[in-house]
Amino acid sequence: MTDQTDSRADDFLRPPASPGGLQLRPLSSGSYALLHRTRNAFVVPQGEDYPDHLSAALEYAYIHGAPLRDVLLAAHAKPEVFRAEVFRFAETLPVSLIRDIIREVEHGLTAAAEQSVDVLPRPGSDDRDAPPNS
Amino acid sequence: MFTLAEKTGWPEAFILWELPLWRALAYQHCALWASGAWTVSPAPPPQAQIEALSTLEIDDDEQAD
């Protein structure tokens, strides 16, 4: 097998992330949408300001580690409510976990980016290529 | 998500919250290929983000303090 195939096989066999006993759900389509909704610095460009990656890592840990119902409620509340919930959750996390959480973010984003594809129109599939009587 | 649910029968909650995004994208790619679509890789990996993240790594010395 090639290195890339080995790497992909390893990804399939990767156990669920639980840094320091904290069970993290995987970066999924739903959690990615939540990261966007909460304007997380890892997935939303922050403009001129230098993004606060530490806060972004803690938000990531909250979205993937707190009970899903609580996360959904907080993400649909005002931004200050969401930040307060993240802060309360982060208070329970040892600082030493930050590195493992960042590794999880790295793995999730990199693996997803590697699998992302755009669809190319096939020749003749455009409406303009259709017969005039169609 | 509809395509994955249709092809696999997996429930919506599983696809949304439990299926890793990279696997969902890989399966979607398979479904696109199976339906005859042409696909291309859109962009290089988010290297800038990864480099920014790596600057956050905490030294072991700092953790011991």
Interface probe with B: pick from A4, A14, A28, A59, most Cβ of B within 10 Å: A28
Q: Is residue A6 part of a domain?
A: no
Instruction: Report residue A34 as tokens.
Output: 């939540």
Residue A14 is assigned to a structural domain of this protein:
no
Nearest-angstrom CA–CA distance, B49 and A42: 7
CB contact under 8 A, A117 and B32: yes
Residue B4 has pLDDT above 60, yes or no: yes
Q: How confident is the model at residue A73 (pLDDT cuts 50, 70, 90)?
A: very high
The mean-pLDDT minimum among A84-98, A103-117, B18-32 falls in A103-117
Measure CB to CB from residue B16 to each of A30, A106, A113 and give the nearest one.
A30
Predicted confidence (pLDDT) per residue in A3-35, tens digit: 666 666 677 777 777 777 788 899 999 999 999
pLDDT at A53: 80
Q: Would you say A11 and A22 are in contact if contact means Cβ atoms under 8 Å apart?
A: no
CA B36 to chain centre: 22
User: Residue A88 belongs to what domain range?
Assistant: 26-110
Q: How many domains does chain A have?
A: 1
User: Which pLDDT band, with edges at 50, 70 and 90, does B45 fall under?
Assistant: low
Give the burial string for A92-115 (b: 16+ CB within 10 Å, else e).
ebeeebbbebbebbbbbbbbbbbb
A29 → closest Cβ in B16, B26, B63: B16
pLDDT band, very low/low/confident/very high, at A58 (cuts 50, 70, 90): very high
A79 part of a folded domain: yes
Rounded to an integer, what distance in angstroms lies between the CA atom of residue A119 and that of residue A130?
20
Task: Compute the distance between CA of residue B12 and CA of residue B23 in angstroms, rounded to an integer.
Answer: 15
Distance from CA of B16 to the nearest CA of A (A): 5
All structural domains of chain B with their residue ranges = 1-37
pLDDT at A122: 73
